[in-house]
């Protein structure tokens, strides 16, 4: 099955820009989707189809992709952005299956 | 308002079975694929299983294949997860998740609050 790799932790100063990455062979064929999970809450869909945002997601969140790496960029990080971020993508071995990255804990300093 | 209400979790002995249910409301249930995603305490998200709107396509993650069975009742707007031969490593919060599309797309648009499953002797 496919695997997606994320850095366990990233930090950013308030108001600065941060990039969270997700690596995996499946990303050469499929877009990554990004989710935010605040402590004690269910995840929230952030970015899909490379760089589409559901209604209500601030435009400081954006997605991009190159080769086997997908990135989530937060431009002007806010205190409320401190959360865990997960990527996911389709499993290349079986199109019915999905895989998540291990998650990145973002700290806003 | 979309509501996904999970039930059926609890404490169970290794090797025993549980059936989770997810009651859906606030949207047209049979317009959407549905999934279960779990999260072990302090760990990341793990996709478990997903089903298309018509039940003609069902997928299972390798750790649960052959032990878990996913089904849906579009007349009652309910998603079911039958879990057999439970193991301690199945201990997690199980989320019921609505896909953005009718066929499984991996775009998990709405999440329930989860039901806790604990497998322990």
Q: What is the mean pLDDT of residues B2-17?
A: 98
Q: Which of helix, strand or coil describes residue B105? A: coil
Contact B44 A35 (CB under 8 A): no
Q: What is the mean pLDDT of residues B5-31?
A: 98
Q: What percent of chain A has pLDDT over 70?
A: 100
Confidence (pLDDT) at B11? 97
Contact B111 A42 (CB under 8 A): yes
- B23 near A CB under 8 A: no
User: pLDDT by residue (tens digit) across B37-92?
Assistant: 999 999 999 999 999 999 999 999 999 999 999 999 999 999 999 999 999 999 99
- The CA distance from A84 to the nearest CA of chain B, in Å, is 9
Asked whether B68 and B48 are in contact (CB, 8 A), the reply is yes
**Does the pLDDT of residue A2 top 90, yes or no?**
no
**Does the pLDDT of residue A1 top 80, yes or no?**
no
**A93 pLDDT tier (thresholds 50, 70, 90):** confident
Separation between Cα atoms, residue B79 and residue B71, nearest integer Å = 6
Q: Which of helix, strand or coil describes residue B8? A: coil
Contact A96 B57 (CB under 8 A): yes
**A92 pLDDT tier (thresholds 50, 70, 90):** confident
Which of A54, A84, A100 is facing B47, going by the closest CB pair?
A: A100
**Does the pLDDT of residue A47 top 90, yes or no?**
yes
- B-contacting residues of A 10-49, CB under 8 Å? 33, 35, 37, 42-45, 48-49
**Does the pLDDT of residue A95 top 90, yes or no?**
no
Separation between Cα atoms, residue A62 and residue B13, nearest integer Å = 44
- The CA distance from A55 to the nearest CA of chain B, in Å, is 11
β strands within chain A, DSSP E: 9-12, 18-23, 33-37, 44-47, 61-66, 69-74, 83-90, 98-100, 104-108
Contact B45 A100 (CB under 8 A): yes
Contact A44 B111 (CB under 8 A): yes
- A97 vs B contacts (CB less than 8 Å): 47, 59-61
Residue closest to A103 by CA, chosen among A74, A80, A77, A72: A72
Separation between Cα atoms, residue B120 and residue B87, nearest integer Å = 8
Contact B45 A96 (CB under 8 A): no
Residue closest to A65 by CA, chosen among A81, A84, A87: A87
Q: What is the mean pLDDT of residues A39-47?
A: 95
- B60 vs A contacts (CB less than 8 Å): 97
Confidence (pLDDT) at B105? 92
- Computed over every residue of chain A, the mean pLDDT equals 95
Confidence (pLDDT) at B69? 98
Contact B45 A86 (CB under 8 A): yes
């Amino acid at each position: 099955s496919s695997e997606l790799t994320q850095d366990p932790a990233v930090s950013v100063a308030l108001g600065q820009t941060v990039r969270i990455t997700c690596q995996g062979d499946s990303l050469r064929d499929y877009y990554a989707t990004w989710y935010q999970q605040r402590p004690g809450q269910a995840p929230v869909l952030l970015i899909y189809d490379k760089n589409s945002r559901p209604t209500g997601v601030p435009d400081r969140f954006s997605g991009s992709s190159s080769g086997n790496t997908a990135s989530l960029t937060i431009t002007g990080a806010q205190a409320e952005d401190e959360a865990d971020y997960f990527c996911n993508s389709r499993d290349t071995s079986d199109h019915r299956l999905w895989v998540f990255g291990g998650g990145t804990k973002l700290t806003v300093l | 308002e979309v509501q996904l209400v999970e039930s059926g979790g609890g404490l169970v002995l290794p090797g025993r079975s549980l059936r989770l249910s997810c009651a859906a409301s606030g949207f047209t249930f049979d317009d959407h694929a549905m999934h279960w995603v779990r999260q072990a305490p302090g760990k990341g998200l793990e996709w478990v299983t997903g089903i298309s709107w018509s039940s003609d396509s069902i997928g299972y993650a390798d750790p649960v294949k052959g032990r878990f069975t996913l089904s849906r009742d579009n007349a009652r707007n309910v998603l079911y997860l039958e879990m057999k031969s439970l193991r301690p490593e199945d201990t997690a919060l199980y989320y019921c998740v609505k896909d953005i599309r009718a066929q499984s797309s991996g775009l998990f648009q709405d999440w329930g609050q989860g039901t806790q499953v604990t497998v322990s002797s």
